[in-house]
Structure 1
């Protein structure tokens, strides 16, 4: 396991230059067997599309991803889910994505990677065109795009066509190769109870995953995918060893196996997380979508031979520490069973600066009394102006290799600024009015501040500060600002607590919890 990742990060493929990238001599010598895959996840196209400032952020960055794929002459693009932010994207969003895919992925450039598996596996039922677009003689595909679905753009609906997602639409138009659509043998309601109904005959089949088999020269790739399913169900299937991955019949040990998934990785809920040690030992690289924190450098997994690459999101959908890191995509270079990952920072991503301060300490250092509301406000605004200046400096440092004239010509977009303030006693005031001063200076003036109230609790005869994220007193909760309350409450927890106190005879509590959560989280 450590050998694979160590080779990955140094010189797995041959000669490298000072930056760690393969030399041109290596690429020319091995071009026939050298596969390049553009890797991105969680594009969330359509996020905040009605916002006058941030509305085009996700679309602009998706365009950059496609431009990078074209300019680097990749063999195909792999998307790890949540291409769209909503299950039912607006016509404007769907139109924009289709136009970009047509612009950058169709053309006369020959596709150099051969499909070895059945091109009709996964085709729309009742139609004769293949599921893999570059196998269709009616289409001129230059760069194939393979994508699984995420939790935001997952299949929904019933009927003759079955559950459909926006990716199904892109698939039948020949723009995207949609794979990893897991056929569960039960309804969502039954799946949600699978962990407690292990003896149910309807759940005995488990999950079966067939790969897309690709070859270029001597390099053969088995591309496995599992689109997002309910985390509790996935957790149960993995724990019960009921996930089966079909292996290629011909020389199964000669393939490079990639698994793309879109599930919870962080253990917010022990039963709603996918253990990263539970995948098949035949896998070489796991591409993990859903988590927005950028951890794209492949990480080794204890006791396993594979590594995990977590590209993170390409647009910030929440102002939290995990989103503050530099956004990146990557090109996976593969030759036979060796690989190397080339990280590429995204240039169109809006700058995002986040700082944490303790208000009491800041006021003490500045000699300002808590009761001096004007002084407190002035202090907080000065900290925000400092963060704006930091964003400008960071932005210009990204282009320090350019000439002064070229740097001046690059206009920095309004940055995202989040100042998290922990406090014990202070009248918060009107946060919206506070942000009005920054309307033309930052992209998020309405939520530039985030307050977190510290609770002083007696423990073993001493006073101890406890962050509000760890303890919320009901009386203190009532005194919090509305924005702060929303940061503390999880909809799923509220629904679950309410339903546990009821005796429901007609309504299914699992379906009701799922429906309310989807309504709040995904605007369904």
Structure 2
């Protein structure tokens, strides 16, 4: 890895950053603006270093659906620093319609004649801002359509992934850039195992290209398949930019098996109070000439300082049998916090945009001691630290039999790098819940993994139909299996349990969840493409109810004990009654969102007597209303809508009534009804 010379016309200068997490804790009064401040510093560094473009490795936004404030702040910064008259000094050689075929405008923004782009931004999506919902869109699609970001690395085929690179050339230097947005680790792991991930390469002069790959996946091993081993990646690559992991390890690390370097820039804002976030934050200036490159570390000066310290009370001079030990422990921890605050003040970068309130975390092993109040302790530093509510974390040492470890084991364990998860995963919580419940409450038909994935889609991406569609799909598969097996009634339970275990062994949960999500997307697309029937039904019923008003004075629904529903003036119009001019006591409410207007006016058996009482006139009752009270029955004439005479009569009636609409109040008292002004004839 030779050092390229600065200001070389053949050298690419690329700013590399990942996991910016715009919008993280945006409602927090102290930390709400941290992510936007760090993002502005990244763009400022890129502008000062005359970067050819900015390369982002996913998780630009912290939320799948960022707030308007966050989205507006991001767009304002991109417009401020990325637009200008500076010419682009390199060529783009690949087919843009292939690289950006997922976008409505499949072109680079600096090639758009309507835009002036001086510093392009290229980005893949991460697991926080991944595509979802109708159209499979994400926030980066919005930025790409607005001409502010070039969004690449999006794949819609979850069975086989074929990566087509972005080809750049500057003088004699050729860069081949691959990108893959975040995919569920288990699914991508299986696809790599089955050789279903391929990378296309230029046909001519393949050895002249510098090959980069930007990926956003788990790098550390959380389980057998919940990560992507570096050995899965092709060995022709020269450099891997690895997103998703927040610990800054931006110095390229050599992989001797695959013969490539791996750079992990880490996040630009601390999203968890874990040990990996305490490492100083950097971004990289990647300089490439020919096949040589260098990653120059650039520290971020506006990042909020974060300090953590582990305390084991059993290893201090404190005596747990002291009657005043609780106050002494609290005083000891207060002294530790004061020391860390002094360290934060000394190490302040001097940048006026860097926050003065630091993040402080004390992880206290209180085995043998009693814990003090965390909230009361945090109130002492409410104006001096950014996280007074979670300043202290108490934990106990797990009791267990210590096993004798050999010297080789101790040496191996010392080399293991501890990794911390940002937060508990929803799917793990679902699996743990069903693993601890009683036998009678455990899942018999569904699998814990499939249910956990469906709940995760509902929680993270608001996919409301994911759980119900998964239940329907798995139920349908089980019913089909039972039909094929022709199981007797006494063996149904055993067959269902056996079939469930077979699906778990074949690992069909991912396919079932994918099919359920596909059905949920199609259902939402249909519901959004067609207006809701309830709205049309309520409007139509309102118009019909107004046209049924008569002019009779004392012929309400309970006039002289009559039980039939007539077109009287009021809903309870006895003699002397002052009805609400045809207003109903309760509004018509649809009970089923999926019913059509024809279903809503289905005939009811209770209307038979009404039809006979009106001399054979056909009536229809609204099936969504309570039939226990005659006052709540709305009757509608069954007239042919295409009959000329009936339509003309209805038009005349509507002309008389539509101009006299009032507000209906739900009240049985005549005193609460506001009379409407009479119209002069």
Distance 1:124 1:280, change over 3 A: closer
Paired residue secondary structure (2:384): coil
> How far does residue 182 in structure 1 lie from its aligned partner after superposition?
1.8
Contact 2:255 2:262 in 1 (8 A): yes
TM-score, normalized by length of structure 2? Answer: 0.62
> How far does residue 374 in structure 1 lie from its aligned partner after superposition?
1.4
> How far does residue 241 in structure 1 lie from its aligned partner after superposition?
2.4
1:4 is matched with which residue? none
Alignment equivalent of 2:127, drawn from 151, 159, 164: 151
2:146 is matched with which residue? 173
Give 5+ residue unaligned stretches, structure 1. 1-6, 14-25, 186-202, 400-406, 462-485
1:346-384 CA-to-partner distances (Å, cap 9, x unmatched) read 0000111111110122243x8983752111111111111
Alignment equivalent of 2:285, drawn from 318, 325, 331: 331
> How far does residue 225 in structure 1 lie from its aligned partner after superposition?
0.4
1:82 is matched with which residue? 59
Structure (1 or 2) with the greater helix fraction? 2
Correspondence list, 1:91-490, <5 A: 91-123=68-100, 127=104, 129-158=105-134, 162-185=135-158, 203=159, 206-364=160-318, 369=322, 372-395=325-348, 398=349, 413-459=356-402, 490=425
Q: Does 1:503 align with 2:443?
A: yes
Paired residue secondary structure (1:513): helix
Contact 2:100 2:151 in 1 (8 A): no
Contact 1:228 1:263 in 2 (8 A): yes
> How far does residue 289 in structure 1 lie from its aligned partner after superposition?
0.2
Contact 2:19 2:246 in 1 (8 A): yes
1:130-150 CA-to-partner distances (Å, cap 9, x unmatched) read 331111111111011100000
Contact 2:103 2:145 in 1 (8 A): no
For residues 509 and 217 of structure 1, the distance between their equivalents in structure 2, rounded to whole angstroms, comes to 56
1:12 is matched with which residue? 3
> How far does residue 71 in structure 1 lie from its aligned partner after superposition?
0.6
1:512 is matched with which residue? 451
For residues 66 and 103 of structure 1, the distance between their equivalents in structure 2, rounded to whole angstroms, comes to 9
Distance 1:137 1:434, change over 3 A: same
Query: Pairwise CA RMSD of aligned residues?
Result: 2.5
> How far does residue 152 in structure 1 lie from its aligned partner after superposition?
0.2
For residues 454 and 320 of structure 2, the distance between their equivalents in structure 1, rounded to whole angstroms, comes to 51
Paired residue secondary structure (2:259): coil
Paired residue secondary structure (2:143): helix
Distance 1:341 1:169, change over 3 A: same
Contact 2:52 2:88 in 1 (8 A): yes
For residues 40 and 361 of structure 1, the distance between their equivalents in structure 2, rounded to whole angstroms, comes to 41
1:453-498 CA-to-partner distances (Å, cap 9, x unmatched) read 113334589xxxxxxxxxxxxxxxxxxxxxxxx9996543231244
For residues 520 and 314 of structure 1, the distance between their equivalents in structure 2, rounded to whole angstroms, comes to 25
> How far does residue 412 in structure 1 lie from its aligned partner after superposition?
5.2
For residues 211 and 184 of structure 1, the distance between their equivalents in structure 2, rounded to whole angstroms, comes to 17
Structure (1 or 2) with the greater strand fraction? 1
Q: Does 1:50 align with 2:52?
A: no
1:475 is matched with which residue? none
For residues 286 and 327 of structure 1, the distance between their equivalents in structure 2, rounded to whole angstroms, comes to 19
> How far does residue 209 in structure 1 lie from its aligned partner after superposition?
0.5
> How far does residue 216 in structure 1 lie from its aligned partner after superposition?
0.6
2:38 is matched with which residue? 61
Distance 1:382 1:179, change over 3 A: same
For residues 325 and 182 of structure 2, the distance between their equivalents in structure 1, rounded to whole angstroms, comes to 51
For residues 372 and 178 of structure 1, the distance between their equivalents in structure 2, rounded to whole angstroms, comes to 58
Paired residue secondary structure (1:49): coil
> How far does residue 125 in structure 1 lie from its aligned partner after superposition?
6.5
Paired residue secondary structure (1:151): coil
For residues 370 and 271 of structure 1, the distance between their equivalents in structure 2, rounded to whole angstroms, comes to 51
> How far does residue 249 in structure 1 lie from its aligned partner after superposition?
2.2
1:379-406 CA-to-partner distances (Å, cap 9, x unmatched) read 11111111111111222xx46xxxxxxx
Contact 2:99 2:165 in 1 (8 A): no
> How far does residue 425 in structure 1 lie from its aligned partner after superposition?
2.9
For residues 342 and 46 of structure 2, the distance between their equivalents in structure 1, rounded to whole angstroms, comes to 33
Distance 1:520 1:422, change over 3 A: farther
For residues 132 and 314 of structure 1, the distance between their equivalents in structure 2, rounded to whole angstroms, comes to 26
1:480 is matched with which residue? none
For residues 372 and 422 of structure 2, the distance between their equivalents in structure 1, rounded to whole angstroms, comes to 17
For residues 41 and 394 of structure 1, the distance between their equivalents in structure 2, rounded to whole angstroms, comes to 24
For residues 135 and 510 of structure 1, the distance between their equivalents in structure 2, rounded to whole angstroms, comes to 46
1:222-251 CA-to-partner distances (Å, cap 9, x unmatched) read 110010000001111122222100101222
Distance 1:523 1:266, change over 3 A: farther
For residues 140 and 488 of structure 1, the distance between their equivalents in structure 2, rounded to whole angstroms, comes to 41
Q: Kindly name which structure, 1 or 2, has the bigger radius of gyration based on alpha carbons.
A: 2
For residues 123 and 147 of structure 1, the distance between their equivalents in structure 2, rounded to whole angstroms, comes to 12
Deviates more, 1:230-239 or 1:96-105: 230-239
Give 5+ residue unaligned stretches, structure 2. 405-420, 464-681
Contact 2:93 2:168 in 1 (8 A): yes
For residues 115 and 361 of structure 2, the distance between their equivalents in structure 1, rounded to whole angstroms, comes to 46
